[in-house]
Copies of this chain bind each other. A is one copy, B any other.
Amino acid sequence: MTINIQCEDRVGLVAAISGLIAQESINIISMREHVDTEQHLFFARLEMDDNENAQLLKNKLKEVLPQNATINIHTSQEKKVVVMVTKEYHCLGDILIKNHFKTLGATVQCVIGNHAVLEEVCTKFNIPFHFISHTEKDKPSFEKEIIDTLKQYDFDYLVLAKFMRILSSDFISQYKYKVINIHHSFLPAFIGANPYRQAFDRGVKLIGATAHFVTDHLDEGPIIAQNINPVNHTFSVADMMRAGKEIEKTTLSRALQLVFEDRVFVYNNKTVIFE
């Protein structure tokens, strides 16, 4: 299991934590800390064998840590996720295959799509697919349908695997740091429709992808993983999109692995990641 601690920094925290664990004769497999010296914040991730008295340990930790410390204990039990999609299959396909072979680090509870085209592939893998169209609805109605569907499931994370509708602040605020998105990204950054077209017109030499938690500000949440692929003048817009999809798939896959293994801390709109 892992214990993730986030609190105000002060002298002696590592000693306090590790002293307590030693007292309990628990063997630490690995321990990682980070201090944000500007914000005076302390982060630690401890990996140890699963322990029956996790709750007791948590209580004891509370006593030796600063007030308001966040202590999260994660057992080795797998995370549960819901995936949301539109039409593109590349991220979903990778998730379904890994889920099927039990190497995703999480189990997919269901897939929600605002188009129906990806229902068939979900059905192949016996994953429930909910088609919730956004057409002829206002956003609140659309999101209410999604929320009603989500309520049927127990889940830890909501993965936007190329879900192409913008979710409202109201929606997002219900799932703080639980919604993970994959976003294409370019240097320079392109705003507006058809970014691959813009990247092509601009003649960029790299295309990339950014996986991040979704917050109120679209595409501006805490970054989990980023990666790039080189492109050149021989790439058509279609070639760029294809290369972009490969890097989106890889980057989301990496981000999910980090999140599902409880390696990611979020604060001040950024992340600490103990890889």
Q: Which residues of A approach B to under 8 Å, CB–CB?
A: 11-12, 14-16, 18-19, 21-22, 25-35, 37, 89, 93-94, 96-98, 100-101, 103, 121, 124-125, 185-189, 201-206, 208, 210, 219-220, 222-228, 232-234, 242, 246, 250, 253, 268-273, 275
Contact = CB atoms under 8 A, between A and B. Distances in A.
Given A12-B18, A202-B270, A223-B205, A93 B97 contact: yes
A271 B34 contact: no
Given A204-B226, A250-B250, A233 B35 contact: no
A274 to B, nearest CB: 9
**Chain A binding surface SS class:** mixed
Please tell me how many copies of the chain the complex holds.
4
Nearest to A231: B226
A275 B202 contact: no
A202 B269 contact: yes
Contact of A203 (B124, B188, B201, B270): B270
Nearest to A211: B205
Nearest to A28: B14
Contact of A19 (B15, B35, B201, B233): B15
A66 B101 CA distance: 44
A70 B145 CA distance: 60
A244 to B, nearest CB: 13
27 contacts: A14-B22, A14-B28, A14-B31, A15-B15, A29-B35, A34-B234, A93-B97, A93-B100, A94-B97, A96-B97, A97-B121, A100-B121, A101-B121, A185-B187, A185-B188, A187-B208, A188-B189, A202-B269, A203-B223, A203-B269, A203-B271, A204-B223, A204-B226, A205-B226, A206-B226, A232-B273, A233-B273
Given A19-B15, A121-B100, A270 B222 contact: no
A228 B225 contact: no
B187 A226 contact: yes
A224 to B, nearest CB: 8
A35 to B, nearest CB: 6
A275 B232 contact: yes
